[in-house]
Structure 1
Amino acid sequence: MASEQLPNSMKAFFLEEFGKPYVLRDLPLPDLDHPDDVLIHVEAGSYCHTDAVMAAGTMHPPTLPHVGCHEYAGTVVALAPQNPCSHGLKVGDRVAVSGRGYHVCEKCQEYQHPSGPLPDEPGFSVYCPYTHGGLGVHGPGGFREYATMDSKQVSLIPEELKAVEVAPLMCAGLTIYAALIKCNLEPGQRVGIMGCGGGLGHLGLQFATKMDLKTLGVDVAPKALELARELNTGAHIVDATTIDPNMLREQMGKEDGQAHISEMGLDAVLILPESQQSFDYGVNLLRHGGLAVVVSFPADGFRMQAADLVFRRIRMEGTLIGSKKAMKEMFEFCVKHNVRAKITTYPFLKINELVEGYESGIPGKLVFDISQKE
């Protein structure tokens, strides 16, 4: 679609009150004011836990009215006139968008020395403290027909992947992939995923097993456990309400031929749920010296036992989103190993039904498909 074919207006869903349904509005297409920006036609967007807590006004509440959705995909339809190169993008390119930091300051330490798993080259950091904020989080996101994005922070979509398959990877997939990379495990080592049947967790099961890691999936919700088992990844799936973590450690120790409890258990665990009980269960599954990677961020935080840090030498790491480099590597991994989210699709005009589906506990990832008719 060339820029001269663009309409004069578009439809967008706005959050006008916390805890209320989104409201559909007509408004002009966004301007390309920044030289790094490109305009895309949004084709698919996925709903995330962060979208839910923001819409409820319980975490980093945005200024209202607000256009949500920070994991989406589409096609480039216009470039900023001030920068026709747009870092190699051109009209017609299919691109993936995640809710990372946009318009980096080009001065800070993160810009010069990017950090995180699989860090980018200088100039592409997603952690710049002076950005305008992530799209769909601090600024307008993908619940609209057209959106602007920073050409430095998007990635081309492999031809093997559809937009509805890419959208769930832009937050859930990229976050869990980067978390696994941060564990720095070798094939044959053990990793656990607390909340294995959720949006991030069911992708994590696929990534971890395809990395040849011995994978333990833990959940408590019946629908989540059902989804995790239906994936048939080869991971060992357990219901945390039915077995003590110390028993699981002993089982793993026997399988690995270990004699002392300090050597038994997981090498790393990913903490996805927000409950203290899930956190404690996951930490208790670790061998001495094991790594707990915290992905969730409950408002009240987590309580870590000093004995675990001192006597068991448990290590603690946090992780957020992945880099552009991680996104490219993740796409290659998904294509090679056929990693896909379990998705339920909705027409664009039924975004409020999508939100209701999320709140009712439909497993997997819920995605709007702009090509899907009512």
Structure 2
Amino acid sequence: MAGQTPPPTMKAQTLTAFNTPYTPATLPTPLPTAPYDLLIRVSAASYCHTDAVLAAGQMPPFPTSFPHIGCHEFAGTILSLPANSTSPYPVGTRLGVPGRSFHPCGTCSDCASGPTAGNPDADPPGYSVYCPSATNHGISGPGGFQEYAVVDWRQVAVIPEGMSDAEAATMMCAGLTIYAAIKRCGLERGERLGIMGAGGGLGHIGVQFAERVFGLRVVGVDVKDGPLGLAREVSGGEVRVVDGRVEGAEEVVASLGEEDGRVGGERGVDAVIILPESQRAFEYGMGLLRNHGKCVVVSFPKEGFKFQAGDVVFRDIQIVGSLVGSNKVLREMLEKAAEHGVKPRIKTYPLSGLNRLVEDYHKMEGGKLVVDMSLPDE
């Protein structure tokens, strides 16, 4: 094994049952064995809405057993490689790690297909984040709430200079998911994009990507003071931040129509991204759309969403889903974030403070909450 030898045991935070606090644990340090494996020293582990959903037992059948180590968006530095390593990354490289996809099968239709005319952003043949047989860090397998982790070098991305590990960790799911969702909208520069939940963990990053990287005119909607303030803080001249508690979709559409010189069904945004798990947010977003617009759904509430048939029949609204993105898109997203100064707003906690982080998360004040392994225990 090349590189440093890790200690035999490590600290971790584990779930021992659904709807219970995290429990500190001392566990054996994992070791890299397969040619694709890297052992990293975890430096930052970001908390995502999916972590909350999984901890509440709303993602059956995962986890399949307890104790479980959560977190599917984290970052760290390569500590060692197995003797049979095929990694292009040397020991000491700083990497961001998304949850998907650890050890994909390489032979299923998703893995074998590669880029196509309909999906040019797919990874090369032999690897796919959609592989049904792969392990997903923090969900079906152990994630980042531990001092060391074994990851697949094909799933990682090198952290750009000037981006901290804590910032990079948040981009591994939140940044990638919203970036891929914006691409899924298929908009041209200058067109309008609505973001429901614009001040949340994904939303405030999406506002920046949409305006700075894609050149879109953004209508960001939220319903809480903290997230609204954050959306305004990160927004620029082409972003309109709307308080959904006091301004309805019809009012927004009417004002956009006046501004754009459009009438009737031509008024509204060209696409909308739904981030909250709220039927009201979904309906508000659909109400913002012009005829022939596209609704991209990222959230997945247990009870689902209800839509009006008239929207898809008489208004020709497309409703599609978007789940993270390929690792090709992951690396593209990081490069664009560094180039255009897209930065998440983060608050950090030590590993021992994970339960306090979770309490703060449920206050829904906006931004991203991150475990910083360099902070001393509480």
Q: Given that residues 47 and 69 in structure 1 are in contact (C-alpha distance below 8 angstroms), is that contact kept between their aligned partners in structure 2?
A: yes
Q: Which moves more between the two structures, 287-296 or 239-248?
A: 239-248
Give the equivalent residue in structure 2 for 1:78. 80
Question: 2:358 matched to 1:365?
Answer: no
Cα deviation 1:316-372 (Å, max 9, x = unaligned): 110001111111111111111111100001112211211121123342100111112
Matched residues in 1 for 2:289 and 2:253: separation?
8
Give the equivalent residue in structure 2 for 1:285. 288
Q: Given that residues 124 and 324 in structure 1 are in contact (C-alpha distance below 8 angstroms), is that contact kept between their aligned partners in structure 2?
A: no
Question: 2:315 matched to 1:317?
Answer: no
**For residue 122 of structure 2, what is the amino acid of its counterpart?**
P
Matched residues in 1 for 2:101 and 2:140: separation?
9
Q: Given that residues 99 and 137 in structure 2 are in contact (C-alpha distance below 8 angstroms), is that contact kept between their aligned partners in structure 1?
A: yes
**For residue 149 of structure 2, what is the amino acid of its counterpart?**
A
2:136 alignment partner, one of 122, 134, 137? 134
Q: Given that residues 311 and 317 in structure 2 are in contact (C-alpha distance below 8 angstroms), is that contact kept between their aligned partners in structure 1?
A: yes
Give the equivalent residue in structure 1 for 2:216. 213
Number of residue equivalences: 370
Q: Given that residues 270 and 293 in structure 2 are in contact (C-alpha distance below 8 angstroms), is that contact kept between their aligned partners in structure 1?
A: yes
Q: Which moves more between the two structures, 230-239 or 285-294?
A: 230-239
Question: 2:95 matched to 1:95?
Answer: yes
1:189 alignment partner, one of 187, 191, 194? 191
Q: Which moves more between the two structures, 109-118 or 198-207?
A: 109-118
Give the equivalent residue in structure 2 for 1:54. 54
Matched residues in 2 for 1:373 and 1:33: separation?
31
Give the equivalent residue in structure 2 for 1:68. 70
Matched residues in 2 for 1:187 and 1:29: separation?
48
For residue 59 of structure 1, report the CA deviation from its aligned partner. 2.1
1:246 alignment partner, one of 246, 250, 254? 250
Matched residues in 1 for 2:83 and 2:320: separation?
42
Give the equivalent residue in structure 2 for 1:119. 122
Give the direction of change, closer, same or farther, for the CA distance of 1:274–1:114 in structure 2 (3 Å limit): farther
Give the equivalent residue in structure 2 for 1:338. 341
SS at match of 1:13: strand
Q: Given that residues 252 and 265 in structure 1 are in contact (C-alpha distance below 8 angstroms), is that contact kept between their aligned partners in structure 2?
A: yes
Give the equivalent residue in structure 2 for 1:167. 169
Give the direction of change, closer, same or farther, for the CA distance of 1:167–1:143 in structure 2 (3 Å limit): same
For structure 2, the 5+ residue unaligned runs are none
**For residue 13 of structure 1, what is the amino acid of its counterpart?**
Q
TM-score (norm 2): 0.94
**For residue 364 of structure 2, what is the amino acid of its counterpart?**
G
Cα RMSD, aligned residues only = 1.6
For residue 222 of structure 1, report the CA deviation from its aligned partner. 1.7
Question: 2:205 matched to 1:203?
Answer: yes
Matched residues in 2 for 1:130 and 1:49: separation?
23
SS at match of 2:202: helix
Cα deviation 1:124-149 (Å, max 9, x = unaligned): 31101121x21001100000000001
Give the equivalent residue in structure 2 for 1:22. 22
SS at match of 1:208: helix
For residue 203 of structure 1, report the CA deviation from its aligned partner. 0.5
SS at match of 1:119: coil
SS at match of 2:129: coil
TM-score (norm 1): 0.95
Moved over 6 A (4+): none
